[in-house]
């Protein structure tokens, strides 16, 4: 299409063109020839460029396909939660790697029985978690919640149940340094109880079995707080038909602490050794109380005596002054019975059978006769010099005899 236009005015940037029907058209002056001035007539031909249109449409369609393939086909994947291993007090859960597509991860949380149990650390690298401290033979429900910049995605609900004490299928053992014979017997015992063996220490390893505490796996088991026990522990579980405590099966444990037939974690409080051979502890007041000396009982006459010579008269201690008081009628019978018992005991003590050599007996008799003669002389002299005091002395002797 050819159009003739008259140049009306030319400025630095815009030229005013006039049509035949007196219409004004602003046209860029840079597109006009440099010799154009006011009043010049120019012919402008206008036509449609189909080739350029096709190229433009193709470029736009390619851009749309790129946007669709990048943001429209791939979406974040919903996590799939499953059970890896179960024991009496713990559960090991695992899931597939998180697929975020083009979204940004916000958080990955684990829920237990409808309440949040906690966030998963490093969710892009962590694919399993262990829930410990659970109740025995109890049912639990778990699910994951994935939060991204493209939305919130909830996994399937996993309902699991912890094992009973008699269920040994959840035991997963990693063997350490063992003699060949013990390793073979350990593998046979594990196969009989339905347990499993892991060659390396993993998150689902429940016990590390060895006889020597060394090696890389042993160090990793200590870092993960996995019990390190001897092979006898597996045999004890098989013999009792249930899981037993590990306190008496540590490498440095005393074999006397092993309790076959009971679980120490259930029968004894935590922190107290579950032994049956330990003697009962004494009470604090009994331990601090000094022992009283035993009262010597009078020897019977039929026993041999080590005393040489004839026994002298027994001097009883001076009775307290309360005995001079007249006894009450109610106590007369009791005092008479007590005095009779004392006189019989004194009579038995004063007449022991003594077995002694002949020579020593004669010498002792001579010495005793001399002492009795001296005592009689002293008493006669005292009686002659101090007459009034004889009665008091006699009363004292009478009191002593009583």
Structure tokens at 357: 């050599």
Judged by DSSP in three states, 111 sits in: strand
In which band, very low, low, confident or very high, does the pLDDT at 228 lie, cut at 50, 70 and 90?
A: very high
Longest dimension (CA), the chain: 190
Q: Which residues neighbour 279 within 8 Å (Cβ) at sequence distance 6 or greater? A: none
Closest by CA position to 249, among listed 210, 206, 200: 210
Mean pLDDT of the 89-105 span:
93
CATH topology of domain 81-161: Immunoglobulin-like (2.60.40)
* 71 pLDDT more than 80: yes
pLDDT of residue 392: 42
Q: What pTM, to 2 d.p., does this model score?
A: 0.52
Contact 260, 236 (CB under 8 A): yes
Helices 232-240, 180-193: inter-axial angle, 10-degree rounding? 30
Contact 86, 169 (CB under 8 A): no
Q: Which CATH superfamily is domain 172-267 in?
A: BRCT domain (3.40.50.10190)
Lowest mean pLDDT among 151-160, 212-221, 271-280, 284-293: 271-280
In which band, very low, low, confident or very high, does the pLDDT at 307 lie, cut at 50, 70 and 90?
A: very low
Distance CA 323, CA 233 (A): 75
Lowest mean pLDDT among 104-108, 201-205, 317-321, 337-341: 337-341
Structure tokens at 185: 């017997």
Give the residue extent of every domain in the chain: 2-47, 81-161, 172-267
In which band, very low, low, confident or very high, does the pLDDT at 78 lie, cut at 50, 70 and 90?
A: very high
pLDDT of residue 278: 42
Contact 87, 205 (CB under 8 A): no
pLDDT of residue 400: 42
* 263 pLDDT more than 80: no
Q: How far is CA 94 from the centre of its chain?
A: 25
Judged by DSSP in three states, 160 sits in: strand
Of the ranges 6-20, 260-274, 359-373, which is most confident? 6-20
pLDDT tens, position by position, 98-151: 999 889 999 999 999 999 999 999 999 999 999 999 999 999 999 999 999 989
* 337 pLDDT more than 70: no
* 328 pLDDT more than 80: no
Distance CA 11, CA 27 (A): 10
Q: Angle at the Cα of 102 (from 100 to 106), degrees rounded to 5?
A: 55
Lowest mean pLDDT among 73-82, 366-375, 390-399: 390-399
Burial of residue 6, with CB atoms counted within 10 A of its CB: 0-12 exposed, 13-18 middle, 19 or more buried: middle
CA end-to-end span of the chain, whole Å?
Answer: 166
pLDDT of residue 35: 87
Structure tokens at 123: 């969710």
pLDDT of residue 320: 56
Mean pLDDT for the chain overall = 76
Mean pLDDT of the 281-306 span:
46
Distance CA 226, CA 171 (A): 12
pLDDT of residue 318: 58
Q: What are phi and psi of 165, to 5 degrees?
A: -65, -25
Distance CA 393, CA 379 (A): 11
Mean pLDDT of the 234-255 span:
89
pLDDT of residue 34: 85
Q: Which residues neighbour 142 within 8 Å (Cβ) at sequence distance 6 or greater? A: 81, 91, 93, 110, 111, 112, 117, 131, 157, 158, 160
Contact 139, 52 (CB under 8 A): no
Distance CA 1, CA 380 (A): 184
Q: To the nearest whole percent, how much of the chain has pLDDT over 70?
A: 64
98 beta partners: none
Mean pLDDT of the 170-198 span:
93
Judged by DSSP in three states, 174 sits in: strand
In which band, very low, low, confident or very high, does the pLDDT at 273 lie, cut at 50, 70 and 90?
A: very low
Q: What are the DSSP calls for 66-107, one per residue?
A: HHIIIIIS--PPPP-EEEEEE-SS-EEEEEPPP--TTS-EEE
């Amino acid at each position: 299409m050819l159009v003739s236009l008259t140049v009306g005015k030319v400025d630095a940037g815009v030229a005013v063109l006039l049509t035949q029907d007196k219409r004004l058209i602003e046209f860029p002056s840079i597109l006009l020839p440099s010799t154009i001035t006011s009043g010049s007539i120019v012919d402008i031909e206008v036509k449609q460029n189909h080739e350029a249109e096709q190229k433009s449409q193709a470029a736009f369609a390619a851009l749309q396909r790129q946007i669709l393939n990048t943001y429209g086909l791939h979406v974040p994947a919903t996590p799939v939660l499953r059970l890896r291993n179960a024991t009496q007090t713990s559960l090991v859960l695992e899931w597939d790697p998180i697929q975020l597509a083009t979204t940004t991860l916000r958080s990955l949380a684990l829920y237990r029985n409808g309440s949040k149990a906690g966030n998963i650390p490093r969710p892009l690298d962590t694919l399993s978690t262990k829930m410990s401290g659970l109740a025995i033979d109890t049912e639990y429900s778990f699910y994951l919640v994935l939060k991204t910049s493209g939305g919130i995605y909830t996994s399937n609900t996993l309902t699991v149940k912890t094992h009973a004490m008699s269920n040994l299928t959840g035991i997963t053992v990693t063997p350490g340094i063992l003699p060949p014979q013990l390793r073979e017997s350990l593998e046979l015992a594990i196969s009989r109880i339905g347990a499993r063996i892991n060659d390396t220490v993993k998150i689902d390893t429940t016990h590390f079995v060895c006889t020597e505490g060394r090696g890389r796996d042993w160090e990793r088991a200590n870092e993960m707080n996995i019990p390190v026990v001897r092979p006898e522990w597996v045999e004890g579980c098989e013999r009792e038909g249930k899981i037993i405590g590990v306190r008496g099966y540590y490498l440095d444990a005393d074999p006397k602490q092993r309790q076959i037939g009971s679980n120490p974690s259930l029968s004894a409080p935590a922190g107290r050794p579950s032994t049956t051979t330990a003697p009962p502890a004494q009470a604090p007041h009994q331990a601090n109380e000094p022992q009283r000396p035993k009262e010597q009982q009078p020897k019977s006459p039929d026993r041999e005596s080590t005393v040489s010579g004839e026994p002298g008269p027994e001097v009883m201690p001076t009775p307290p002054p309360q005995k001079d008081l007249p006894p009450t009628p109610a106590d007369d019978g009791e005092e008479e019975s007590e005095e009779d018992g004392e006189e019989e005991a004194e009579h038995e003590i004063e007449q022991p059978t003594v077995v002694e050599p002949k020579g020593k007996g004669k010498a002792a008799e001579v010495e005793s006769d001399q002492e009795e003669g001296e005592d009689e002389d002293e008493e006669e002299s005292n009686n002659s010099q101090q007459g009034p005091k004889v009665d008091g002395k006699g009363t004292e002797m009478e009191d002593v005899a009583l």
